[in-house]
A and B are shown apart, each in its own frame.
Chain A
Amino acid sequence: MSLLAVEDLHVEVDGTPILKGLDMAVEPGEVHAVMGPNGSGKSTFANVLAGRPGYEVTAGAVTVDGIDIAAYSPEQRSHLGLFLAFQYPIEIPGVSNMEFLKAAVDAHARSAGLDEPSPVDFIRRARNAASQLGISADFLKRGVNEGFSGGEKKRNEILQMLLLEPRLAVLDETDSGLDIDALQVVADGINGFRSDDNAVLLVTHYQRLLNHIVPDWVHVLANGRIVRSGDRSLALALEEQGYGWVDD
């Protein structure tokens, strides 16, 4: 059974068809990259997986570990192990990162029928994850994304991912806005997260992230469908020849 199976997915936003029959299967342990020009439907795909309101599935199905998630709320999808790293992480002023992370981790524990971690254990875990990403302890006390630089926001997304240990991490343009050093730190974080049991779906416009996180599969999305799939070399060919090449 695939970890993620997408079959003939059609999605509309405000009545406009964006995805028009998308198919994909992601197995545990794999890294997939979804590439494509602006407006091809990449972000729509990422968001619809997470169940964002406003994205209407008109046909097709998405299953996670064989479970059809059509009727699942965003938080239920999260509990199933679906994680979305946002392209533009939003601020929640006054709510400390620590409080936010604890609420998220607690919610996951409850949904799995486990005890919430003790504050001491949680703080230890959060600090470990933070230091892995070169984040100072002070960062955890600040409001969620409040006054963060672009790079800090992206690191914060990865921090959340490390603490929630999802089965499928969907990373929406996580490389955008990162300088080369930050990109390396974020990539190290993602590579450290990878295991035989989980999977990563990288949504990206540029292939430079793929120099750091080597994908097993590269899919090219154009006009709402996957028009080509291949290995890493497909990404390099795209970079050389541009997206116009896949339209042929």
Chain B
Amino acid sequence: MPETATDLDTLVRSEYSAGFVTEIETDTLPPGLDEDVVRTISARKEEPSWMIDWRLDAFRRWQAMALPRWAHVRFPDIDFQAISYFSAPKGERPKSLDEVDPELLETYQKLGVPLHERARLAGVAGVDGTGGESPPDGATSAVAVDAVFDSVSIATTFKDKLTEAGVVFCSMAEAVREHPELVRKYLGSVVPKPDNFYAALNSAVFSDGSFVYVPKHTRCPMELSTYFRINAENTGQFERTLIIADEGAHVSYLEGCTAPMRDDNQLHAAVVELVALDDAEIKYSTVQNWYPGDEQGRGGIYNFVTKRGACLGARSKISWTQVETGSAITWKYPSVVLRGADSVGEFHSVALTRNFQQADTGTKMIHIGPRTKSTIISKGISAGRSQNSYRGLVRMNAGAVGARNHTQCDSLLIGDACGAHTFPYIEAKLPSAVVEHEATTSKVSDEQLFLCQQRGIDPEKAVAMIVGGFCKDVFRTLPMEFAVEAGKLLEVSLEGAVG
């Protein structure tokens, strides 16, 4: 009789809904990487000579670097000559939304990211490009989107409205042409070219990404977001994002990403730099749903990303929130360099791994200025045969008088073939700094599941509820629409056939 002994493992299998391929003609460089390829990428983007020189410098440095091997992940060596470094839909870059290939619009529509300005990204209805309804807190619920398809940005919405407020939101390629003074000043200032192997590679070949500048004492009138889509086969995506919040500026930015299902691994090596000047605040949220590979561990994205923010100004604040459900391998440590006095860094993370996924993710909080504060909340959920590691560094430099950090690091295991690991590094060079670290590991137990079932709740809903409870602290920090989105994403990721 008690037949459907519910296997927790079967609960965490599910289909990847973003795994379709868009059939579109592309202009793709043949695989391989040398100086000519770097020059070609630069030429395609009609870049000025200083940018070419910058890329070539990065390329030469990269050639001298070795692949990092310290992360708790396993994968065969990548053949960097087998990858294509540039792929773009054929034709001129569309000047307005009306000119975008309908096939591409359809793609984003299918992904739940409509690019029409009258449509909405998620959650709140009745928003249009000219103001519309505003929630009581004054921020409008519209979201401006920069849509990046393989190596190029195909559209950026709500530009007029943002321009009115003085906010620059455009593709990186456009920023290089239109705002060279800002790009030259800040590009590579937070993540230097030789920072690490993948950052150097990105600096040499970066394709597109988003550029944001929020002027002094300006609160960005809407959420900004970039949606990254890898479509082409055997192509790497190397996006570059730079966000600058000038004195007293506020901006909230969200990044989403998906890719088709393919049996080969694909490389995604992005660099994101954030700069916050005096009293500025940047909130950067990621919902990462790259293709994670199949149940046997075939295929999936290698997500090797360098994300770092610099709190340059006094009382500035940078907050990273990430919900990581995708990628075959995730290697990523969104960090904050707390240089300004009384600046604040936050890192809130939910990382879900299942099947054969591997995640080595965490953060670095580098305290340089006095009375700087950082908070780290990391929630790792492991299922199937996956490996999920938290790796975090908290460094208190000699000048960081009165600095404080609090780290809370929780792991949840689903089933017993998975692994959860915690690698905290704490370096304190002065006695007055306060560093607190708490860590817990728990399991979604058969008892919890049975309790829910006994009360009439089906096992899929039960696991989603248990995992949702575990992630609550982090979901609270996401912008409202995306908290709903992230909750659903976890639910979808965990759903599967039962019995």
**Chain A residues proximal to chain B, CB less than 8 Å:** 48, 50-57, 62, 69-71, 73-75, 77-79, 83-84, 86, 89-96, 99-100, 103-104, 107-108, 111, 143, 160, 164
B455: nearest chain-A partner, CB-CB: A104
- For A57, list chain B residues within 8 Å (CB): 1-2
**Interface CB pairs A-B, < 8 A, 19:** A53-B5, A56-B1, A74-B2, A74-B453, A75-B456, A75-B459, A78-B454, A84-B454, A90-B448, A92-B448, A92-B452, A92-B466, A94-B469, A94-B471, A94-B473, A95-B466, A100-B452, A104-B456, A164-B455
Say if the beta carbon of B6 comes within 8 Å of chain A. yes
Closest Cβ of chain B to A104, distance in Å, is 4
0/1 string, B453-488, CB within 8 A of A gives 1: 111111101000110111111000000000000000
Decide: A94 and B472 in contact? CB cutoff 8 A.
Answer: yes
Decide: B457 and A107 in contact? CB cutoff 8 A.
Answer: yes
A69 and B1 in contact (CB under 8 A), knowing A92-B469, A103-B461? yes
Decide: B457 and A104 in contact? CB cutoff 8 A.
Answer: yes
**Chain B residues proximal to chain A, CB less than 8 Å:** 1-6, 442, 445-448, 450-459, 461, 465-466, 468-473, 499
- For B470, list chain A residues within 8 Å (CB): 93-94
- For B465, list chain A residues within 8 Å (CB): 92, 95, 99-100, 103
B471: nearest chain-A partner, CB-CB: A94
Kindly state the separation between the CA atoms of A82 and B457 in the bound complex, as whole angstroms: 13
Closest Cβ of chain A to B85, distance in Å, is 43
Decide: A108 and B456 in contact? CB cutoff 8 A.
Answer: yes
Kindly state the separation between the CA atoms of A73 and B454 in the bound complex, as whole angstroms: 9
- For B461, list chain A residues within 8 Å (CB): 103, 107
- For A71, list chain B residues within 8 Å (CB): 1, 3
Kindly state the separation between the CA atoms of A154 and B48 in the bound complex, as whole angstroms: 72
Kindly state the separation between the CA atoms of A70 and B3 in the bound complex, as whole angstroms: 8
- For B458, list chain A residues within 8 Å (CB): 75, 107
| A-B contacts besides A70-B1, A103-B457, 15 pairs, CB < 8 Å | A50-B450, A52-B450, A71-B1, A73-B4, A74-B450, A74-B453, A79-B456, A90-B447, A92-B451, A92-B469, A93-B469, A94-B468, A95-B469, A100-B455, A107-B456
Closest Cβ of chain B to A53, distance in Å, is 4
Closest Cβ of chain A to B499, distance in Å, is 7
Decide: A53 and B450 in contact? CB cutoff 8 A.
Answer: yes
Closest Cβ of chain B to A208, distance in Å, is 26
B6: nearest chain-A partner, CB-CB: A53
- For B447, list chain A residues within 8 Å (CB): 90
Kindly state the separation between the CA atoms of A55 and B2 in the bound complex, as whole angstroms: 7
B475: nearest chain-A partner, CB-CB: A94
Kindly state the separation between the CA atoms of A50 and B2 in the bound complex, as whole angstroms: 9
Closest Cβ of chain A to B245, distance in Å, is 32
- For B459, list chain A residues within 8 Å (CB): 75
A78 and B1 in contact (CB under 8 A), knowing A92-B469, A95-B466? no
Decide: A73 and B3 in contact? CB cutoff 8 A.
Answer: yes
- For A86, list chain B residues within 8 Å (CB): 451, 454
Kindly state the separation between the CA atoms of A69 and B2 in the bound complex, as whole angstroms: 9
- For B455, list chain A residues within 8 Å (CB): 78, 100, 103-104, 107, 160, 164
Closest Cβ of chain A to B173, distance in Å, is 43
A53 and B454 in contact (CB under 8 A), knowing A92-B466, A103-B465, A143-B469? no
Closest Cβ of chain A to B408, distance in Å, is 13
Decide: B445 and A90 in contact? CB cutoff 8 A.
Answer: yes
A94: nearest chain-B partner, CB-CB: B469
